[in-house]
């Protein structure tokens, strides 16, 4: 778990890495919801596209 969040491999989770990890967790949840379809799925898919704009590197 720690390795997955330590994006630059320095052995510590920086604030930026923690924030990106949290975004990733949220993003994964949104993708799961988007696959279920319906109105909730459409909202989740739209939210996912917004997140992708911020997480573009």
Q: Which of 1, 2, 3, 8 binds Ca ion (CB under 5 A)?
A: 8
- Binding segment for Ca ion (CB under 5 A), chosen from 1-9, 18-26, 37-45, 49-57, is 1-9
Q: Which of 21, 47 has the CB closer to Ca ion?
A: 21
Tell me, by CB under 5 A, how many residues bind Ca ion. Answer: 3
Q: What is the dihedral of CA 27, 12, 3, 55, to 10 degrees?
A: 30
- CA–CA separation, 9 vs 2, rounded Å? 10
Q: Are 21 and 13 in contact (CB under 8 A)?
A: yes
Interface residues with Ca ion (CB under 5 A)?
6, 8, 10
């Amino acid at each position: 778990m720690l390795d997955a969040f330590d994006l630059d491999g320095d052995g510590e989770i920086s604030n930026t890495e923690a924030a990106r990890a949290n975004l990733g967790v949220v993003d994964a949840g949104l993708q799961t919801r988007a696959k279920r379809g319906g109105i909730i799925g459409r909202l989740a898919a739209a939210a996912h596209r917004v997140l992708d704009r911020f997480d573009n590197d």
